[in-house]
Structure 1
Amino acid sequence: MRKGLVLLSYLLIALFMYLYGESLLNWIRQGGTDYMLVTAMLATFFALFPIIPYPIIGGILGAAYGPISGSLVIWLGSSLASVLMFAFVRYGYQDWGKKWLYKYDRLSKITKMFEQNAFMTIFLTRLIPVIPSIIINIYSALSRVSFIRYTIASSLGKIPAMILFATVGNSIVNNPNDLLFLTIFYGIFLLVVYYAFKLFNHFTLINKGKGGSH
C-alpha cells in the first residue's frame, strides 16, 4: 500500500507537469516572476520532473531575476526537488533497495565505501552538472545515508551549478560577450573539482588499506 501510494503520487504530479509544464513556463515568462515563492515552487516541480531541461529553466529565471535572485530561486527549486525525490525513494522503496545494493559483493563494497564518505562524495558529485542528479538522489536514498547529511551535502554542492545557470541566462540577455569568460572559468572549476575528487578517492583508499592492515 505504501509503495503504491508513493508511486501514484509521483505519477500524478508528473502527469500534471507534462500537461501544464509549457503553460507554467509561459506564465513565468509573462510576469509570473512577480511572485518569487510561487516561482520557486514551480522551479521545484520543473527540477523534479525535467520535461524541460533544468539549465533552460535556470537560464530563463536568471534572465528574469538577475544572477543573484535567479540563482537563489533555481537553487531552492533544485535543492527541494532532490530532497523530495530522496524522500519518495527512502519512504517507499529503501527496503527493496537495500536487498539489491547488498546482494552482490562488489556493489556491497562500493555502497559501504560510499556510506562511509557520503557527505564528500555527494557534495563533489553535485559540483559536476553532467552527472545525472536522479542517479545521486536514488542511490543515496536506497543506501543508509542519513536524511540530514544528504540534504546538506546535496544542497551545498548544487550552489555553483545553479549560479552558473542563472548567470548564463542573464548574460545571454544582457552581456553575451561574458559567456566565453564564464565557460573558461567553469571549465577550470570543473578540472579543480575532478582532481580534488581523485585526490579524495586516493586518500580514502589509502586510509581503508591502513585500516584493513591492522
Structure 2
Amino acid sequence: MVKKFVMALMYVAIGGLIYAYGDAILSWFQAADHLLLIVLMAIVMALFPVIPYPIVGGVIGAALGPVLGGVITWVGSTAASILMFMFIRYGYQEWGNRILHRYNRLGKVTSMFERNAFLTILFSRLIPFIPSIIINVYAALSKVSFTAYTVASALGKIPAMLLFSMVGDNLMTDPSNIVMTIGVYGVFLTLTLLIYKWSGVGGRVKKSAS
C-alpha cells in the first residue's frame, strides 16, 4: 500500500511541475529543433496530461507541419498510453480489478469489455473527446491483453493525432482550412460510430449494463 501511495504521489508531483511550467514548455516546442527531444517531451506531456494533449499536438503541428507534427504527436501519445498501461497494470491491477468486479453491473460491463477489447479500444481512441487516461486506466485494471491494447490504441490514435496537428498547422498558415479539416474528421467520426453500432459491440455493452 505504501508503494502504491508513493507512486501515485510522484505522478501527481510531476504533473504539478508540468502545470507550473506549462507555458514555458509550449514555447519550447515552438522553438525546438531536436526531434528526439521533441518526441521525448511529447511523451511526457501525454503521460501527464495536465495540459490537454490536443493543445500540445496543435503546437507541435504548427511548429513542424501537419505530417511530421502528426507523426510525433502520435508517437508521443501512443508511447505514453503504453507506459501508463504498464504503470497501472503492474502497480494497481490486483486492487483495481477487485473494484471493477465488486458490483454486479460494473462487473458485467467489464466482462463484456474484456471480450470485445480490441474493437472497443480501437473505436474509443477514434473519438477525440473521450479522455485517453480513462481508457488507459480502465484497460489496465481489466484483464485485457497487452498486445490487444497496444495495437488497438496505436491504430485508433492515428486520425485524432493527425487532426490535432493539422488544426495547429492551419492556425499558423491558413485558418480558413480549419473548418474543412474538422468537417472531414466529423464525417469520418460519424462513419466510425455507425460501424461501431453495426458491429454490435456497442449494443451488447449497453445491454450488459442494463
> One fold, TM greater than 0.5?
yes
Aligned match of 1:211: none
AA of the residue aligned to 1:8: L
1:192 aligns with 2:194: no
AA of the residue aligned to 2:47: L
CA contact (8 A) 1:124 1:193 kept: yes
CA contact (8 A) 1:6 1:88 kept: no
Aligned match of 1:152: 151
Separation in 2, partners of 1:103, 1:129: 30
Corresponding pairs, count: 204
After the TM superposition, which residues 1-214 of structure 1 pair with which residues of structure 2 at under 5 Å, given as runs? 1-29=2-30, 31-32=31-32, 34-201=33-200, 205=204
Separation in 2, partners of 1:157, 1:49: 20
Separation in 2, partners of 1:184, 1:141: 33
Cα shift at 1:19: 3.0
Cα shift at 1:5: 3.8
Separation in 2, partners of 1:6, 1:200: 39
Separation in 2, partners of 1:178, 1:50: 27
In structure 1, stretches of 5+ residues that fail to align are: 209-214
AA of the residue aligned to 2:93: Q
Separation in 2, partners of 1:16, 1:154: 27
Q: CA RMSD in A?
A: 1.8
| Deviations, residues 133-154 of structure 1 (Å, cap 9, x unaligned) | 1111111010001122111111
Separation in 2, partners of 1:173, 1:26: 15
AA of the residue aligned to 1:166: S
TM-score, reference length from structure 2: 0.90
Secondary structure of the residue aligned to 2:148 is: helix
Q: Identity of aligned pairs, percent?
A: 49
| Deviations, residues 49-104 of structure 1 (Å, cap 9, x unaligned) | 22322111111111111111000111111111111221221111111111111111
AA of the residue aligned to 1:186: Y
In structure 2, stretches of 5+ residues that fail to align are: none
Separation in 1, partners of 2:136, 2:126: 14
Secondary structure of the residue aligned to 2:175 is: coil
AA of the residue aligned to 1:132: P
Cα shift at 1:42: 1.1
